[in-house]
Structure 1
Amino acid sequence: MDEMIFPKSLKKGDQIAIISPAGAVEEKQLQKGLEIIRQKGFEPVLGKHLYTEFSNGYSYAGTEKERISDLNWAFNNDGISAVWASRGGYGCQHLLGHLQLSKLKKNPKWYIGYSDNTVIQSFLLKNNFVSIHGQTIKTSNFGVSDESYDLIFDILKGEKPDYKVESNPLNKKGTAEGQLIGGNLALIYALLGTPYSFNFKDKILFIEDIGENYYALDRMMISLELAGVFRKIKGLIIGGMTYMGDEKDNKNYAESFDGFAYQLISDRLKKYGFPTLFGFPNGHIFDNKPLIIGADIKMQIEDQVKVQFK
């Protein structure tokens, strides 16, 4: 495995580009998140098409050309120290064949986001760049935990997370070390068989999702199995599974870690022996603690559960 590229630590006054690579976003939805960045001592710089709206079967934050333009500007502008996605939604896959990273290699910078941003993070990983799987700017508008943002700024300043996680009865005990990959399950599934798919061999895979019917969750798990993913990975971390199934029938619909979704996943993994951690606090949930995609981790699953970044 090639050595991963970690950006240099940010210092007060550094500029953070705010871009919308997927769904449209309103200015009022970002006000709180932008203020958090300012309060931490950094300067948010808004992409030209941050608030653009283009309707084409979905409300995108601009045409593909406009969104690509903003992302390439952010990646290749020497004055920018980090790039933070305003939101996810749908549309990041449109950009994959058009991303330009030539200047990024000379001036690496953090990319921050989750959900649909998983595909951009997979692209970055293939080019040996780490990224932060954590809150977008818009999610601050939902009243999420302050710590989920504080921990992102800790990473930007050069710290690496060290998490203790509540034990779950579905866990498979053991210890695994390796590179962390993954993100949103629907996007991991969507990339299978493409040049942009994650390389799963000897990796520790993280998955999370939101708003999926149970049969769709099962289909994605089976697809990963048929693709040989579970024969390749060294460990699995399952994060948030929320708003799953039918709201009328699911009394746990709004819970962060849907019990039936977890049982479906556990059932699909019965024949595999790798360490498996359920209930990691990352995903479309209130307490979304950031992960560094592409970093090496050690996961220890015993009566006490730890995830340590190296």
Structure 2
Amino acid sequence: MKNIVFPKNLKKGDQIAIISPAGFVEEASLQSTINLIKSKGYETILGKNTLGKFENGYNYSGTEKERIQDLNWAFNNPEISAIWASRGGYGCQHLLRHLKLSEFRQNPKWYIGYSDNTVINSYLLKNNFASIHGQTVKTASFGVSEGSYEDIFKILEGKKIYYSVEKHQLNKNGKTEGELIGGNLALIYALLGTPYSFDFKDKILFIEDIGENFYALDRMLISLDLAGVFRKIKGLIIGGMTNMGDEKENKNYEEPFDEFAYEIIAQRIKKYNFPTLFGFPNGHIFDNRPLIIGSKVKMEVEEKGLVKIL
């Protein structure tokens, strides 16, 4: 396995940049987490276009040029110790060809985000840097658990993270270790066949998603299967699957772990024997616990599912 670079631990007084690489965000929706960051002893600085707005079929925080300027500024500014995405949405793929890591390589820093930010997690890992797939600065309409943020600060401060997940009837028992990859399934799917796709060989894959029709979920899983992903991985962790299908027809629409979505996943991986853990607390859900993309994890699926970041 290639040597993955893990950014140094933060210390009190360090500066965390807040940027918006995708969707438009209102200032009020950031304030709660900004206050939390400051209460932990860190400083915050907003990118020039963090609170911008550019309408082009979607409400972006800025033009592609403006968004990449903010991202490259945050990556390569030596006075910044971590980068926290304000939100996801859509737009991070626009930036991949223009990301620069010149100064970042000399001074690696944690990048924190999920959802659309999965493509930036993947980009960093392709360049051998770990990052955090975790809650954005913006708090979702359904709220965010205190632990979702507390575990991020634990990672930033160099503390180990360990998760114990209740047994699920669709789990496949087994033990494995490997490098953790993944994030939002729609973005993993969107990167297939590109230079920015994850390398799946001998990895433990994590997936989560929101707002997909059941046929679209199945289509993405089929594409992963046709691309050989499930033949390559050593384990699979499934997180939140929420707001799936038709709101009027799906009784589990608001549930964090949609039962029918889980059944579809189980059907598509039935012929494979890798350990599989359903119900992991990460995704577009209230209790969105962070994972380190690029970390070595130990996965044990028996009576309970255990995930330990080594």
What range describes the TM-score normalised by the shorter chain of this pair?
over 0.9
8 Å Cα contact 1:13/1:43 also seen in 2: yes
> Which residue of structure 2 lines up, in the alignment, with residue 71 of structure 1?
71
**Corresponding residue SS for 2:129:** coil
d(CA) in 2 for partners of 1:71, 1:227: 31
**Corresponding residue SS for 1:104:** coil
Q: Call closer, same or farther: CA 1:113–1:279 in 2, change over 3 Å.
A: same
Pairwise mapping of residues 201-240 of structure 1 onto structure 2 (< 5 A)? 201-240=201-240
d(CA) in 2 for partners of 1:12, 1:42: 6
**Corresponding residue SS for 2:230:** helix
Counting aligned pairs with the same residue, the percent is 72
Matched, 1:285 2:285: yes
The alpha-carbon deviation at position 14 of structure 1 amounts to: 0.4
The alpha-carbon deviation at position 108 of structure 1 amounts to: 0.7
Tell me the TM-score normalised to structure 1 length: 0.99
8 Å Cα contact 1:52/1:62 also seen in 2: yes
> Which residue of structure 2 lines up, in the alignment, with residue 193 of structure 1?
193
d(CA) in 1 for partners of 2:208, 2:79: 33
Deviations 1:225-268 (A, max 9, x none): 00000000000000000000000001110000000000000000
**Corresponding residue SS for 2:222:** helix
Letter in structure 2 aligned against 1:133 = H
8 Å Cα contact 1:48/1:70 also seen in 2: yes
**Corresponding residue SS for 2:144:** coil
Letter in structure 2 aligned against 1:108 = P
Point out the more displaced range, 142-151 or 208-217.
Answer: 142-151
> Which residue of structure 2 lines up, in the alignment, with residue 164 of structure 1?
164
d(CA) in 2 for partners of 1:2, 1:236: 21
> Which residue of structure 2 lines up, in the alignment, with residue 153 of structure 1?
153
Letter in structure 1 aligned against 2:299 = M
The alpha-carbon deviation at position 139 of structure 1 amounts to: 1.9
Gaps of 5+ in 1: none
d(CA) in 1 for partners of 2:199, 2:101: 20
Tell me the TM-score normalised to structure 2 length: 0.99
Q: Call closer, same or farther: CA 1:142–1:36 in 2, change over 3 Å.
A: farther
Pairwise mapping of residues 18-33 of structure 1 onto structure 2 (< 5 A)? 18-33=18-33
Matched, 1:137 2:137: yes
Deviations 1:163-192 (A, max 9, x none): 111110000000010000000000000000
Letter in structure 2 aligned against 1:157 = E
d(CA) in 1 for partners of 2:26, 2:161: 32
Q: Call closer, same or farther: CA 1:228–1:6 in 2, change over 3 Å.
A: same
**Corresponding residue SS for 2:103:** helix
Question: What RMSD over aligned residues (CA atoms) do the two structures have, in Å?
Answer: 0.8
Matched, 1:125 2:105: no
8 Å Cα contact 1:30/1:141 also seen in 2: no
d(CA) in 1 for partners of 2:191, 2:217: 16
Letter in structure 2 aligned against 1:192 = L
8 Å Cα contact 1:208/1:241 also seen in 2: yes
**Corresponding residue SS for 1:107:** coil
> Which residue of structure 1 lines up, in the alignment, with residue 309 of structure 2?
309
> Which residue of structure 2 lines up, in the alignment, with residue 84 of structure 1?
84
d(CA) in 1 for partners of 2:141, 2:18: 15
8 Å Cα contact 1:17/1:47 also seen in 2: yes
Letter in structure 1 aligned against 2:249 = D
> Which residue of structure 2 lines up, in the alignment, with residue 276 of structure 1?
276
8 Å Cα contact 1:240/1:257 also seen in 2: yes
Aligned length: 310
Letter in structure 2 aligned against 1:83 = I
d(CA) in 2 for partners of 1:50, 1:58: 16
> Which residue of structure 2 lines up, in the alignment, with residue 35 of structure 1?
35
Deviations 1:3-38 (A, max 9, x none): 110111101110000000000001111111111111
8 Å Cα contact 1:33/1:140 also seen in 2: no
The alpha-carbon deviation at position 142 of structure 1 amounts to: 4.5
> Which residue of structure 2 lines up, in the alignment, with residue 109 of structure 1?
109
The alpha-carbon deviation at position 140 of structure 1 amounts to: 6.0
> Which residue of structure 2 lines up, in the alignment, with residue 100 of structure 1?
100
The alpha-carbon deviation at position 146 of structure 1 amounts to: 0.5
8 Å Cα contact 1:20/1:61 also seen in 2: yes
Q: Call closer, same or farther: CA 1:142–1:32 in 2, change over 3 Å.
A: farther
> Which residue of structure 2 lines up, in the alignment, with residue 245 of structure 1?
245
**Corresponding residue SS for 1:249:** coil
d(CA) in 1 for partners of 2:294, 2:305: 21
Runs of 4+ in 1 over 6 A off after TM superposition: none
Gaps of 5+ in 2: none
d(CA) in 2 for partners of 1:243, 1:151: 25
d(CA) in 1 for partners of 2:155, 2:291: 9
8 Å Cα contact 1:13/1:41 also seen in 2: yes
